[in-house]
Structure 1
């Protein structure tokens, strides 16, 4: 049995298919204008390209955000410029009214204009907005709470080995050697003062104190464990907290997180600006 074959023809057919595939890829790149159209072209390059594409689009949007922020600030600036002009006019009127060449009728007319100007400042503060967001009424003022250290000063002179009351007095400053003492509650009013190093403990009565001292560390200055020695103590209660800022307009000006600016605009009505309220009599 004879098997007929044409190896050159098969080779030519395979090469033609490869050329057609390469031509198709080239046409795809020419049509799109991109070197990488799919992961098969360059997997690593495609990943890098997509990451950079996302960064670029984010920066484009951040640029638009910044322009919107500038427009908002310009709107507020225009309103504040008008408010400044009104304040200048109010000052002129106050100087004019202080001149005794004016009659009572003249001053009444000046007061009428002054009242109108105060109302206009309040109107500008209330009505100025950008994209329905109020700008000058205090909504864009940052506020928040921050942790503070509260000190309850309980100072008394006691004799070692006795008990007594710790009265709440003005803060006192102590110098000299300082040791750390702790308070442990027993019955809600009596506390055991223990330095913790085996040098001795002291029971004190806090029934008349007005500060909460349960579990608070005490700083003792110049204390010894000898009998009949007098010592002074200062109770310091420290409280900590985390502050969360609210308010203000956050303008995101970057492609990534934490790339933003906060615009704070205080309330700009007549009371805040020192113009008082509309109580003048015309």
Structure 2
């Protein structure tokens, strides 16, 4: 019987993958057999992450990519294709931090920064890498969204807007690319323990305890909790799942 989670011979690109959820997804995809392209804003960090995965027996390349810079995104796509000749799974994990606080206090520069890093850059990378998937009639595209896309927030309003836009991009791309054999989905994590979220979520033990108490599974997530879903959606096991925004949040979104 076919191993539905086998990614041998496939190539996965994971942006924002030098640490945290991105690195764990790259590790899981590589452990399932994929060759992996990892990225970060600087070349040294990307190459160091790739070296870490290579030491674990995973075929990995590190290439720099600033998701908020269109020229950097285009150059990254060209280098990823030059490295392996194809991309089968595109995981769009890189993001620009949207400024917290009142939407009434945020001007056009902050709006452009948030939308550029969380929406525009990802769509530009899809534009660059989806055509070779279309030509083969096969591929998987996975956006990193958030449960913030589905909930209002008086503190993270700008971030929520960018993630709601991400979920809508998934729905639209799924309709456009489905007939070409490509599935498009989003992962919507709840609170996850990463360096990115340390200050806001778990750096203070009392704050973490309060947050965990509000989550039905009584803990915040770990980066590895997201990785299995990425493998599912990139593998034959998830071939018929498309247009979905799937929560990984310990049931917080339904509490």
TM (normalized to structure 2)? 0.20
Q: Which has the larger radius of gyration?
A: 1
TM (normalized to structure 1)? 0.19
The structure with higher relative contact order (CA 8 Å, sep 6+) is: 1
In proportion to residue count, which structure has more helix?
Answer: 2
